[in-house]
């Protein structure tokens, strides 16, 4: 048997660490597995004397060799807890806080600028969805937690009609004029007159490519269309290769983590402590909700180094960033739970694409396998991690 991956949760203030060791095969044909502790190493030994050493030097801690507890060996997972051999008198805290750099809101960046010429194509079949476009103004929308009444800069210039200035639209609606492109968390709002070769579902108001019928966005009002970044691509003038509208957006799950960072920043600005996230995604089948309850937002997580040489039977650990959380995904769920969360002042809500939600739920389910089944479920919610660095 070989180790597939190792996940370590380190709690410096609690002076303990949780270990989760995944193997490539189950323990069905193995009669015994032994775990031996040393101050900076852990040995996992099987009945055939084959052993693997877990190097803990990257954690910069020494473990208490007589403190192993909660040992569970089931299917292809071994988990246990150990105590750290140190005291609070030995702890050194940094004088300067790095919270400002860590909590800065991540900015969204586009591959187009004002007056850049480009066209929009379907991501699935590359069918054209627009003619050549260029926008005079490209503006970011406020987050869904902000009051849009104060965002007067997004109001287009008034037009003259019979000697009187007439606003093109209500400033509070934040809908784009014909020469505007407004964008939010990996979506763009574009005036209806620019788009062609689409079919709009009259009931759900979903937008589909007329060629391949794939879902590409939603209709917002009578004059505005909303396109999700993962469902379309753009072709810029003098650039033959199609690309995403947003830069650094090849992974839907990575984009989701950026959204989590952004809504967390808004949440911190409001002075709140606990964080619950409610994501909503619409499709032709209905509405799907993703409930996320964060448990540990600044958790020290370590995993087996991807470049570990398995032939030496020695695994080294590397630090990764992540959030420990409980999650629940419900399609067309009972509105009672949704309304209960929406009334909670600690809940931050956001809309995402159905493709992003599906990719996130798949990733959460894969990372939940690190936790033993008896500790994984709680009132229908499943324990997992939000991390781009952990191998799934």
DSSP 297: S
Report pLDDT digits (tens) over 87-115.
556 555 555 444 444 456 688 999 999 98
pLDDT of 359 reads 94
pLDDT of 80 reads 92
In 3D space, the residue among 86, 85, 77 whose CA is nearest the CA of residue 38 turns out to be 85
Question: Residue 354 pLDDT > 60, yes or no?
Answer: yes
Beta strands in 123-184 (DSSP E): 137-140, 159-161, 164-166, 180-184
Q: Which two tokens stand for residue 166?
A: 């007439």
List all residues 6 or more positions away from 301 whose beta carbon is below 8 Å from its beta carbon. Answer: 7, 8, 9, 10, 319, 320, 321, 322, 385, 387, 390
Answer with the one of 184, 210, 236 that is the final residue of a domain.
Answer: 236
Spatial separation of the C-alpha atoms in residues 153 and 45, rounded to whole Å:
65
17 in Cβ contact with 84 (< 8 Å): yes
Question: Residue 165 pLDDT > 90, yes or no?
Answer: no
The count of C-alpha atoms lying within 13 angstroms of the C-alpha of 169, restricted to the half-sphere facing its C-beta, is 18
Residues 78 and 150 in one domain: no
pLDDT of 159 reads 44
pLDDT of 209 reads 94
pLDDT of 164 reads 47
Residues 124 and 148 in one domain: yes
Inside any domain, residue 275: yes
| Helix, strand, coil percent content, the chain, rounded in steps of 5 | 20, 40, 40
Residues 294 and 348 in one domain: yes
For the segment 53-70, the average pLDDT, to the nearest whole number, is 86
pLDDT of 243 reads 93
The range of the structural domain enclosing residue 198 comes to: 118-236
Q: What is the mean pLDDT of the chain?
A: 82
Residues 254 and 381 in one domain: yes
For the segment 280-308, the average pLDDT, to the nearest whole number, is 86
Question: Residue 160 pLDDT > 50, yes or no?
Answer: no
pLDDT of 94 reads 53
pLDDT of 250 reads 73
Inside any domain, residue 106: no
Q: What is the CATH number of the domain that holds 231?
A: 2.170.150
Question: Residue 171 pLDDT > 50, yes or no?
Answer: no
Inside any domain, residue 110: no
pLDDT of 166 reads 41
Report pLDDT digits (tens) over 358-391.
999 999 999 999 998 888 898 889 999 998 788 7
Report pLDDT digits (tens) over 4-54.
889 999 988 888 999 999 888 887 777 777 888 888 888 888 776 677 888
Q: What is the pTM of this model?
A: 0.84
Q: What is the CATH number of the domain that holds 62?
A: 2.60.40.790
Report pLDDT digits (tens) over 216-275.
999 988 889 999 999 999 999 888 889 999 998 778 999 999 998 888 776 665 555 567
Report pLDDT digits (tens) over 187-216.
999 999 999 999 998 777 899 999 999 999
Inside any domain, residue 96: no
Inside any domain, residue 136: yes
Element (H, E) at 215: strand 215-220
Question: Residue 294 pLDDT > 50, yes or no?
Answer: yes
Inside any domain, residue 293: yes
Residues 122 and 207 in one domain: yes
Total of domains in the chain: 3
């Amino acid at each position: 048997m070989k180790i597939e991956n190792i996940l370590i949760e380190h709690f410096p203030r609690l002076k303990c660490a949780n270990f989760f060791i995944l193997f490539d095969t189950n323990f069905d044909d193995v009669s015994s597995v032994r775990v031996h502790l040393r101050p900076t190493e852990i040995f996992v030994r099987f009945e055939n004397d084959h052993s693997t050493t877990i190097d803990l030097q990257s954690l910069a801690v020494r473990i208490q060799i007589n403190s192993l507890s909660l040992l569970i060996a089931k299917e292809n997972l071994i988990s246990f807890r150990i105590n750290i051999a140190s005291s609070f008198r030995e702890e050194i805290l940094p004088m300067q806080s790095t919270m400002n750099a860590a909590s800065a809101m991540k900015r969204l960046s586009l591959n187009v600028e004002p007056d850049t010429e480009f066209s929009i194509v379907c991501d699935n079949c590359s069918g054209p969805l627009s003619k050549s476009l260029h926008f005079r103004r490209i503006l970011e929308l406020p987050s869904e937690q902000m009051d849009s009444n104060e965002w007067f800069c997004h109001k287009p210039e008034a037009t003259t009609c019979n000697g009187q200035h007439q606003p093109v639209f209500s400033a509070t609606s934040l809908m784009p004029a014909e020469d505007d492109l407004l964008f939010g968390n990996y979506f763009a709002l574009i005036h209806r007159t620019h788009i062609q070769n689409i079919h709009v579902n009259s009931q759900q108001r979903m937008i589909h490519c007329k060629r391949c019928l794939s879902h590409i966005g939603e209709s917002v009002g009578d004059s505005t269309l909303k396109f999700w970044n993962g469902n379309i691509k753009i072709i810029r003038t003098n650039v033959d290769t199609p690309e995403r509208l947003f830069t650094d957006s090849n992974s839907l799950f990575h984009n989701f983590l950026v959204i989590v960072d952004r809504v967390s920043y808004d949440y911190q600005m409001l002075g709140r402590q606990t964080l619950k996230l409610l994501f909503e995604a619409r499709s032709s089948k209905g509405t799907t909700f993703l409930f996320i309850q964060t448990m540990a937002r600044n958790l020290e997580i370590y995993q087996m180094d991807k470049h570990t040489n398995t032939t030496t039977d020695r695994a080294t650990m590397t630090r990764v960033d992540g959030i420990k959380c409980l999650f629940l995904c419900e399609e067309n769920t009972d509105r009672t739970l949704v309304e209960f969360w929406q009334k909670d002042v600690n809940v931050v809500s956001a809309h995402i694409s159905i493709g992003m939600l599906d990719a996130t739920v798949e990733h959460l389910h894969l990372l939940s396998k690190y936790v033993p089944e008896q500790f994984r479920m709680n009132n229908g919610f499943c324990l997992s991690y939000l991390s781009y660095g952990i191998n799934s």
